[in-house]
Amino acid sequence: MAAARIMVSASNTLTASLLSKGPLRRPNNFSLCFRNGPVQKKRLFTCSAIYNPQIQTIEEGQPETLDYRVFFADNSGKKISPWHDIPLHLGDGVFNFVVEIPKESSAKMEVATDEQHTPIKQDTKKGKLRYYPYNIHWNYGLLPQTWEDPTFANTEVEGALGDNDPVDVVEIGDSRGKIGQVLKVKPLAALAMIDEGELDWKIVAISLDDPRASLVNDVDDVEKHFPGTLTAIRDWFRDYKIPDGKPANRFALGNKPANKDYALKIITETNESWAKLVKRSIAAGELSLV
């Protein structure tokens, strides 16, 4: 097995030296608490950031191989799940977003929902690594502590069933993220993509660190300050499977992006579904809850 590469900050160089045999990389550090923390808000099943542990992202294997994984660990080195253990809600309409695919890249990285600690890996098909036919132009990833329930038929979206994954985020800021980076974002819009009959929400959001973040607070602001972006996102996700010989994806809700309030509604509903999943009120199937 290739030596793990642990990405931490300069202040933790000594710790990293003890834990890692590979080169150091800059960390993704953020505040979080774990699932045994207090519930923060009614209907938002997450926890408040009551302390600030340092989070490490640990690479195992070589990038663009079947064995490559990016794990997450707390400051004691204990592995945690980016899906289950990073809180969703940070208050004041701000959410944590985990980058799976950095903008202007094509390797189809995703959280391995069926593996212990749900690391990020490159998706496969018939034993081969998957790539998009062209680069994705935005940071792409997931909202932790959300889940699109495959047993729930959404009557507002043609009765489509959820795709059994966390909710996807398309982050439109200028900076290119890194695999495993956690950004604080605010949602701006939602696209209801229908992928081979399954509902696959795309929440359009912006990092609070982006210079234009204060200018955009709802769907209309996106068109004003990022003209053409919403159409480009819809068209990209509509067409990306066509080069592989598959039909185009469809979008419900009139083929238009819903506003911020609707996006927040989707986040709340899928957070509730996640809570039922981890409480085992709904059968997990092959999903890992660790």
* CA geometry: angle 239, 244, 246, nearest 5 deg: 65
Question: What does residue 165 show for φ and ψ, rounded to 5 degrees?
Answer: -130, 165
Answer yes or no: are the C-beta atoms of 266 and 190 closer than 8 Å: yes
**Active-site residue (options: 68, 131, 132, 134):** 132
Active site residue 132: yes
Distant-in-sequence contacts of 57-63, Cβ < 8 A, 24+ apart: 57/6, 57/7, 57/27, 57/28, 57/179, 57/180, 58/4, 58/5, 58/6, 58/7, 59/4, 59/5, 59/6, 59/7, 59/22, 60/1, 60/2, 60/4, 60/119, 61/1, 61/2, 62/2, 63/107
Report the candidate in 224, 216, 228 with the shortest Cα–Cα distance to residue 260. 216
SS3 content of the chain, % helix, strand, coil (to 5): 20, 35, 50
Q: Which two tokens stand for residue 256?
A: 């238009």
Are 51 and 92 spatial neighbours (Cβ–Cβ below 8 Å)? no
Q: Which amino acid does the sequence have at 286?
A: E
Asked if residue 277 lies in contact with residue 285, where contact means CB atoms within 8 angstroms, the answer is no
- Alpha carbons 260 and 117: distance in angstroms, whole number: 31
Tell me the C-alpha distance between 264 and 114, whole Å.
Answer: 27
- Active-site positions read 132
